[in-house]
Structure 1
Amino acid sequence: MSFELHPRLAAGTHPIAVLNGCHVLLKDNACFPWILIVPEVEEGIEDLHQLDAARYEEVTSLVRTISIFVSEHFSPDKLNVACIGNVVRQMHIHLVGRSESDPAWPGTVWASDVKKPYLPDEIASIRHAARRFLNEELDQDD
């Protein structure tokens, strides 16, 4: 199986890591702490229930790990996790830290027109923190 990240996902994100065949990406909107997980799966598999049990466990375990990172690093009031894919059908899971002070609260981030690209040093800082967190988590699993 060859994997190619959907152009729309690639254009709006910054890579953080590839773990267990999943691409972990930072959404380029500094208004919301927003991470995407894009599992490398066969074309046509769009929803979590379509994964076999072992792959489902790998993907949801990573969702849990990244959820902990977002919660600890960004300290949101609420964490939204969703595998929607109505526009981009390639399987991807959104993890969005929400705060009562964010510009879309309590509405959805998808309906918000508020956009603010990350500065290069902000991307580097988040990438570094995420990689450090993920390395520590992976070391604990051994």
Structure 2
Amino acid sequence: MFQCPAMPDSSPRPPAFTLHPRLAAGSHWLGRRQGCRLLLKDNALFPWILIVPEVSEGVEDLHQLDPDRYRQVMELVRRVSQFVSAQFQPDKLNVACIGNQVRQMHIHIVGRSEGDAAWPGTVWASEAKSLWPTEEVERIRAAARVELELEPDS
């Protein structure tokens, strides 16, 4: 099983951070790490985790982060990518920070498999959906909390 080295969480939350309702609505809470919220998209057809850095309003793109915060977020992207690879064995990982519909900074880590419901197209254009069973969400959450050393509460 994949083991991540411990990293201290030294990132304070910006005042009054509020998760965008669209991100919250279609996702399951996994936990918090390094001043970021981690969410599992509620579509079992694609293993898909969102990283939502708790940044000030108006900071929407990665280049707007200061260098230390950028490195911290990218290290979390690397660790979550390793987690998705280890848990789901996808053929390909897609990592994106788009934000055309939801401006709040968020990074998609999506495991793709040849022959999945959207292959070879994008998951964003796919209307195929299958909700995660509750027990599978709990299994993924428990694994993420251990392997990524997540704080459980928001």
* 1:98-119 deviations in Å (ceiling 9; x for gaps): 0002110000000000011111
Residue in 1 aligned with 2:47? 33
For the pair 1:93 / 2:107, whether they are aligned, the reply is: yes
Residue in 2 aligned with 1:59? 73
Residue in 1 aligned with 2:10? none
Residue in 1 aligned with 2:147? 133
RMSD of aligned Cα (Å): 1.0
**Whole-angstrom CA distance in 1 between matches of 2:148 and 2:121:** 30
**Whole-angstrom CA distance in 2 between matches of 1:125 and 1:20:** 22
**Whole-angstrom CA distance in 2 between matches of 1:50 and 1:83:** 13
Identity of aligned residues (%): 66
Task: Return the structure number with greater helix share.
Answer: 1
* 1:42-90 deviations in Å (ceiling 9; x for gaps): 1111110100001101111100000000011100000000000000000
TM-score by length of 1: 0.94
Higher relative contact order (CA 8 A, sep 6+): 2
TM-score by length of 2: 0.86
**Whole-angstrom CA distance in 2 between matches of 1:27 and 1:9:** 9
Structure 1 residues 1-142: aligned runs within 5 Å? 1-135=15-149
SS in 2 for 1:91: coil
Large movers: runs of 4+ above 4 Å: none
Q: Which runs of 5+ in 1 are unaligned?
A: none
